[in-house]
Amino acid sequence: MTRHMIQAAMNGAYTAADHPAVPVTPEQIVADARACHAAGAASVHFHPHLPGGGDTMAADVLGPVVAAVRAAVPGLEISCSTHAGIDLGGAPDHVAALRAWTVTPDAVSLNLAEAGSLKLGEALLAAGVAIEAGLFTLGDADALLAAPWADRVHRVLVEVIHEHHDETAVALAHAIDERVAELVRPRLWHGDGRANWAVVDEGLRLGRDVRVGLEDTIVGRDGGPAPSNADQVADAARR
């Protein structure tokens, strides 16, 4: 039987105002990470949030929550974000924000579509932080293949976040996956919104790793509010 790695994407920029089950505070993130792991997640991806709102790479916010999750759920992979719009805690750029970290997540997502991704990738590897290479388009796939560190990425995120029609999203996921297959790195599939369900189901069918959770969709399969992060993980595990 094929075993799939399931990652729970717990919050993103969402808050409880968007969905009541979105974890934002460190205590909520720790409790949710524990529940997701119990449901079958081998990895969690979360965005630390500033007390006043907004996600951040600031060392004094990220470090304590990463350490708390690591202590609460030993062995659970912890992934955070480096997206272009994230707060940098006063640092002049993403590389400087990264270099201020004294506690590091195991991995971070790095979007190839964003300016500075090649330089940031080099800095991440130098700091011992694994790269989850985020690909939204075939152009992003080509950018990854041209990156000097392409064969050193931890995994490739096949992220069809700009397509919201099930068939179109799944077709693009297939195309991106095929384009980067030569790297022979694990590929993790996910979509955005209602289409995330179709992308995840197809990824599971193909034996790919998948990502579920409230960062990717706050809309359920039935069009109503999405289940909690742990319930989404349990759903993927059953399939």
pLDDT digits (tens, 9 = 90+) for 164-206: 999 999 999 999 999 999 999 999 999 999 999 999 999 999 9
Our measurement of the distance from residue 155's CA atom to the centroid of its chain's CA atoms, rounded to an integer in Å, reads 11
Return the CATH number at 188: 3.20.20.70
If DSSP codes are grouped into helix, strand and coil, which group holds residue 38? helix
The answer to the question of residue 1 being in a domain is no
Query: pTM value?
Result: 0.96
Q: How many domains does the chain have?
A: 1
The answer to the question of residue 185 being in a domain is yes
The answer to the question of residue 173 being in a domain is yes
How far apart, in Å, are the Cα atoms of 78 and each of 54, 164, 219, 224? 19, 28, 24, 29
Domain extent, residue 112, equals 6-238
Residue 1 has pLDDT above 60, yes or no: no
The answer to the question of residue 141 being in a domain is yes
The answer to the question of residue 96 being in a domain is yes
Question: How high is the pLDDT of residue 3?
Answer: 62
Interatomic CA distance for residues 66 and 47, integer angstroms: 10
Interatomic CA distance for residues 127 and 113, integer angstroms: 22
Our measurement of the distance from residue 117's CA atom to the centroid of its chain's CA atoms, rounded to an integer in Å, reads 16
The answer to the question of residue 22 being in a domain is yes
